[in-house]
A and B are shown apart, each in its own frame.
Chain A
Amino acid sequence: MTISIKTIVYIALSAGFAMLVSGCQPVQAWERGVLAKPEMAIDPDPLETTLNNHIYFSKEASNGGHSATGGGCGCN
């Protein structure tokens, strides 16, 4: 039986939500060292993100994400 991409995507989304719903715990102020690590940033590599956004913007119909879209280009 082949599993379609659709099924995989739906499973991934549900697993994602389940992880979040597993609850927030109070984080003591002295426990935040890990959150400051560069690999925990929302955007650890801005040049890579800008490049990817630019490429996907010119090859796909979608636009937008975590910030207001920047300048334009003739590529779309």
Chain B
Amino acid sequence: MKDNFHYPFRAMGSPCEIILRGHDETFCRELCTGFESEVRRLEKAYSRFLPDSITSTINQAAGSGSPVNIDEETLRLLDYADTCYAQSNGLFDITCGSLRSIWNYHDLAEKQCLPEQSDIDKVLDLVGWEKVERTGNAVALPLAGMEIDFGGIVKEYAADCIAALAEAAGVSSGMIELGGDIRLFGVAGEPAPWSLGIRNPHHTDKPLALLSLGRGGLATSGDYERYTVINGQRFSHILNPKTGWPVSGFSSVSVVAQQCIVAGSAASIAVLMGKAGEGWLAELGLPYLCVNEHGDISGTLSAR
């Protein structure tokens, strides 16, 4: 039996890795090189940090009054963002990036104070998916200072894209990990399961749970790496787009779904919902694991 082929690289600001099983090295290398370029293509197209990206083009035109023409892929990603917005009662909102200016955690931690409600309210005027104007293949952000960000979707989307390419190429079994979001793929009928670990947010060196999964996506959302302590209280970097304040409830949520993008959105929505997130996940029907601020674990993937 051929060894696993490992292909590590760095993209989208995170360590990434592709592992393929069941094929010879030359074939694997050729495929992975192609897969890496596909990840980079998506990074170049949707990163808000790159001035030429589609995201930046749309954000730079905010308030200008002229709609930006978009391609089929962007259109469908916006449709997907819209579905997430609807399914989360407006909590999953790709326009909430403007709130970053208020919640500058470095400053706040130094000064040990919270932002003024009046400041928050002013920025909230620039937030709201319902304000985004979409007509045909064009999109416009009506107010200057509004911005959209695909950051919460594009990594998981990239993982699913690679999975589709790999299966079209006939890969027997494989895995892609992009900064903690994982997607398993392959055309083998009964793939040997992969052993995946869910990181423990409070003891990052000891996995919280080990999953044995044959196919599908595993994504984790949470603030275990992104929070600040102010006045002795822990503030998540994940913000509620309606109130403008950080959410509280779970420090980590992991979800398993057929597609990584669905797993990722479900996990994000659960975190955004705070305590109510667990009930929502239970109804969704996907296997999940939640860790709250105190480290208590719950969910269908726990205690099996």
Residues on the B chain within 8 Å of A36, using CB: 168, 170
Residues on the B chain within 8 Å of A31, using CB: 167
* Residue A17 at the chain B interface, CB threshold 8 Å: no
In whole angstroms, how far apart are the Cα atoms of A74 and B171 in the complex?
48
Residues on the A chain within 8 Å of B187, using CB: 33-34
CB distance from A25 to the nearest CB of B (A): 14
Q: How many residues of B contact A (CB 8 A)?
A: 10
* Residue A6 at the chain B interface, CB threshold 8 Å: no
Q: Say whether B170 contacts A30, CB under 8 Å.
A: no
**Chain B 150-168 residues near chain A, CB threshold 8 A:** 160, 163-164, 167-168
In whole angstroms, how far apart are the Cα atoms of A33 and B167 in the complex?
5
CB distance from A38 to the nearest CB of B (A): 10
Q: How many residues of A contact B (CB 8 A)?
A: 8
* Residue A66 at the chain B interface, CB threshold 8 Å: no
Q: Say whether B168 contacts A32, CB under 8 Å.
A: yes
CB distance from A32 to the nearest CB of B (A): 7
CB distance from A4 to the nearest CB of B (A): 36
Residues on the A chain within 8 Å of B170, using CB: 33-34, 36-37
Q: Say whether A33 contacts B169, CB under 8 Å.
A: yes
Cβ proximity bits A13-44 to B, threshold 8 Å, 1 near / 0 not: 00000000000000010111110110000000
Residues on the A chain within 8 Å of B163, using CB: 30
CB distance from B258 to the nearest CB of A (A): 8
**Chain B 60-108 residues near chain A, CB threshold 8 A:** none
**Chain B 175-214 residues near chain A, CB threshold 8 A:** 187
Residues on the A chain within 8 Å of B168, using CB: 32-33, 36
Instruction: Give A contacts to B, CB under 8 Å.
Output: 28, 30-34, 36-37
